[in-house]
Structure 1
Amino acid sequence: MPETGIGLFPDVGGAAWLPFVGGGWGEYLGLTGARLKGSDAKRLELATHYVPAWTEEKEKAFLARVEETGDVGGALDEQAAPVDGSRTALDDEVESYFHGKESVPAILEGLRAAAGGSEFAARTLEGMAGLSPSSMCATFEQISRGRELAGDVERVLEMEFGMTQAMMREPGGDFYEGIRAVLVDKDGKPSWKHGIEDIESVSRDVGMYFVPPETGWTKNDA
């Protein structure tokens, strides 16, 4: 979920599932844009199957099995590899720095305190320093509110529609700068509206992204 790198947030329903990836993983993925390996996605129950290498031979066997039985899940079962669901050292680190924190500044404070002795903390802190502070704070609040909405997709989409409109209306907002830096000019050097040193004030002002849009919301907008 790379949206904090373009001044946005994990939209199109991110708040319907990120809050429920346990152990701080939802916050970690949403805030940092970190990528999961296939086996980790399966271990965290974000994927139903893990196939390490999808070769032409496996593809033919899969399609033949589906054609024969009509059972997609069963055909995938035959190609999938087992995944060890045991807790890992990465789980411990993600939970330590991202689970149960009250704000993005609190997460950053914990990472800074540990950066001297933890490669994970140092690497994560460095990565977050280049992301949009406004987007990270909005994403953190989005995940918190999504947890309260208990996976109600319609209400989640309504909230995220409002967030998108607010970010697009914000004068000098990060969304336009992020798109410029990553997708238009591709210089990879966004100049965010706020610096990471302003994260405390940005976190306090995050409510501006959760004001219902002036146009309202109807099911036809979906």
Structure 2
Amino acid sequence: MLKNDLSCGLGASVHGRFRVATEKSVCAMPETAMGLIPDVGASYFYSRLPGFFGEYAGLTGARLDGAEMLACGLATHFAPSERLPFLEQALIEVNTSDPDVISAIISRFSNIPKLKAESPYHKMKIIDHCFARRTIEEIISSLENYEALNKKDEYWISSTIQSLKKASPTSLKISLRSLREGRLQGVGSCLIQEYRIACHVIRGEFSKDFFEGCRAILIDKDRNPKWEPSRLELITDDDVDLYFSKIDDEDWQDLKLPPRSNLPPYAIAKL
């Protein structure tokens, strides 16, 4: 279940059949602001959100509340937090793993929340238009064109542009490709590819942005990272290709996933 969690809780539960959010739930994957990429299978589950909402959330690190998580499909149900103890008790008492029965029980304690007026989910027309672009540069340019013409959504568009411009240019380019490739891959392939990318990031062969991001956000907390390369145009397709290649080290090997578990269909979502 998703309670008061950011990406750690999301990673533990999003691959489960049932995912329950509340009015206290918060979901965010701000990895591009730290020189990393959205991981824990994000290239799989973000790429399967409606339209290009996954690209928006993954590249900007947008914080989504429980209602937004339900609307976009990250959560399957929404239950007020005061009902959770009763929901948990009902699940404990049921003597079946039949997904239809489990879904019916959760639905008894669930409702459909109203999205906030300022929710980015109301901006799907802009998100689909801009985040469908082929490159990060084109995404930013498209947003800037919208900003110049659309005074109604000017603040949200400006904030989105600033989130992209503050993030690691290298991370943005790798993350966009990871999400686009994830659209055509199974979850296992996505996890293996993300692990490979993370290994390259930590090795710092091309860029040491992850270490700089940790310094700026977690250690010194000045929130003023000095990215290198510092601009999107300094990063070529060949540079991005490096992160998707196998590591040239005889002691290194790709992630090996264990056999699929026979746990009940709701068990993983309850971790």
**1:3 aligned to 31, 34, 43, which one?**
31
Query: TM-score of the superposition, structure 1-length normalised?
Result: 0.85
Shift of 1:98: 0.8
Name the counterpart of 1:61: 86
**2:142 aligned to 103, 110, 131, which one?**
110
Shift of 1:54: 0.6
**1:96 aligned to 118, 129, 153, which one?**
129
Q: Which runs of 4+ in 1 moved over 6 A?
A: none
Name the counterpart of 2:110: 80
- Work out whether residues 147 and 157 of structure 2, in 8 Å CA contact, stay in contact via their aligned partners in 1: yes
- Work out whether residues 43 and 84 of structure 1, in 8 Å CA contact, stay in contact via their aligned partners in 2: no
Q: Deviations over 1:34-59 (max 9, x none)?
A: 011211211112111012x312xx23
- Work out whether residues 43 and 83 of structure 1, in 8 Å CA contact, stay in contact via their aligned partners in 2: no
Query: TM-score of the superposition, structure 2-length normalised?
Result: 0.71
Shift of 1:103: 0.7
CA RMSD of aligned residues (A): 2.5
**1:41 aligned to 39, 59, 69, which one?**
69
- Work out whether residues 174 and 193 of structure 1, in 8 Å CA contact, stay in contact via their aligned partners in 2: yes
Aligned CA distance change for structure 1 residues 221 and 74 (closer, same or farther; 3 Å): closer
The amino acid of 2:111's aligned partner reads A
Shift of 1:30: 0.9
Q: Deviations over 1:154-190 (max 9, x none)?
A: 2222211221111122255101111111122222221
Shift of 1:123: 1.4
**1:30 aligned to 58, 69, 76, which one?**
58
Shift of 1:221: 9.6
Unaligned runs of 5+ in 2: 1-28, 96-100, 116-120, 260-271
Q: Deviations over 1:11-54 (max 9, x none)?
A: 12111222211211111011000011211211112111012x31
The amino acid of 2:138's aligned partner reads A
Greater helix percent: which structure?
1
Give the number of equivalent residue pairs.
213
Shift of 1:68: 3.6
Name the counterpart of 2:228: 193
Share of identical aligned residues, percent?
Answer: 27
Unaligned runs of 5+ in 1: none
Shift of 1:143: 0.9
